[in-house]
Amino acid sequence: MNMKKISFELSHELPVRLLKRCPVYAPSPLVHKTLGHRRILVKDETHRMGLGAFKALGGVYAVAQLMLTKNGTLTTSSDKLREETEKMTFVCASAGNHGMAVAAGARIFGAHARIHLAKTVPQAFVSRLEAQQAQVIRSGDTYEESVQIAIKDAAENNYIHLADGSWQGYTEPPRLVMEGYTVIAEEMRAAFAMNGEWPTHVFLQAGVGGLAAAIAYMIRKNWSKQPEIIVVEPDEAPCLKTSVETGELTTVDGAVSNMGRLDCKTPSMLAFEVLKAMADRFVVISDAKAAEAQNLLNELGLPTTPSGAAGLAGLNAAALPVDAKPLIIVTEGQV
């Protein structure tokens, strides 16, 4: 693909370098599983960095880079840096996992975190966020409402707003979040380059689209064998598919989905730009199909949620050739 179509750049080099300094970083497993008569490749993010989801990569890396921008250095042993970071508060809205990553990044580097959760986010996330020393605020009936409240909170209190979605005039923090996710694609590229077993189809679940866009970008940028890229969304929130079809960012309507981390009605502007150029197709899946895929992964020893299983649900809905080598990402463990 022609990378010139994209107005911004992502690179795995900085996040890989930074994360290698983190004692809890390790590449997540890339395993084979058999489902019926088909063998599938599975990137297992269910234990990523002790936070149980891929989001750990993006939030922690973005916090670190924003601190570097402000302070010019990053070492947790520096008393002077601690004095500065203790004055910093990161704010975001979250459906759960992004907030966990931002909270963890803030805690690691001595800053503070305020996480806005809509009423639809399970209570279990509140306890997990508070264990990361975050302040949790229930804000709004939907994720979109909690985003607007988080923006206002940051502006009124001079906090740092660190969202994983992007829009006109707000791109650098979410670009950093996406750049953190490129580590996943690089880990997979290195493994495939070593064993020669490249996938033919890659299924990427999407909420606002940051993960799907980051992986798609890196596949097109530096994978030597190019697969078909399929983006998977809930049928109650197909914001990226609809935006690509209309040719512009589009907010969709829909009921609340059991795929809570994917139930986003407005896509990220940066993710939309990448995926409209680099994804081959978009599929939507029902809550029932996501739950079915969740049960299948549980039986395969990969306990997850409907959101984490959405890639498999997309695979199950696709008519692939018998010789296909599909890849899915199980994005989170059970909550």
- Three-class SS string for the chain? CCHHHCCCCCCCHHHHHHHCCCCCCCCCCEEEEEECCEEEEEEECCCHHHCCECHHHHHHHHHHHHHHHHHCCCCCCCHHHHHHHCCCEEEEEECCHHHHHHHHHHHHCCCEEEEEECCCCCHHHHHHHHHCCCEEEECCCCHHHHHHHHHHHHHHHCCEECCCCCECCECHHHHHHHHHHHHHHHHHHHHHHHHCCCCCEEEEECCCCHHHHHHHHHHHHHCCCCCEEEEEEECCCCHHHHHHHHCCCCCCCCCCCCCHHHCCCCCCHHHHHHHHHHCCEEEEECHHHHHHHHHHHHHCCCCCCCCCCHHHHHHHHCCCCCCCCEEEEECECCC
- The pLDDT confidence band at residue 53, using thresholds 50, 70 and 90, is confident
Report whether 318 contacts 285 (CB < 8 A).
Answer: no
Positive or negative: CA dihedral 163, 100, 127, 90 = negative
Out of 95-109, 197-211, 228-242, least confident range: 95-109
Residues facing residue 30 across a β-bridge? 43
Rounded to an integer, the average pLDDT of 46-54 is 89
127-155 tens-digit pLDDT: 989 999 999 999 999 988 999 999 999 99
Cα(194)–Cα(171) distance, integer angstroms: 35
By percentage, how much of the chain surpasses pLDDT 70? 95
The per-residue pLDDT of the chain, averaged, comes to 92
Look up residue 121 and give its two tokens.
Answer: 């986010």
Rounded to an integer, the average pLDDT of 192-219 is 97
Closest C-alpha among 23, 43, 272, 54 to residue 181? 54
In this predicted structure, the answer to whether residue 19 has a pLDDT above a threshold of 90 is: no
Report whether 293 contacts 313 (CB < 8 A).
Answer: yes
Cα(311)–Cα(329) distance, integer angstroms: 6
272-292 tens-digit pLDDT: 999 999 999 999 999 999 999
Cα(249)–Cα(267) distance, integer angstroms: 7
- The pLDDT confidence band at residue 1, using thresholds 50, 70 and 90, is very low
For residue 314, CA distances in Å to 29, 44, 96, 196, 308 come to 21, 17, 22, 25, 12
Out of 18-27, 133-142, 239-248, least confident range: 18-27
pLDDT at 230: 98
Model pTM above 0.85:
yes
In this predicted structure, the answer to whether residue 71 has a pLDDT above a threshold of 70 is: no
78-126 tens-digit pLDDT: 566 667 788 899 999 998 789 999 999 999 888 999 999 999 888 888 9
Report whether 219 contacts 55 (CB < 8 A).
Answer: no
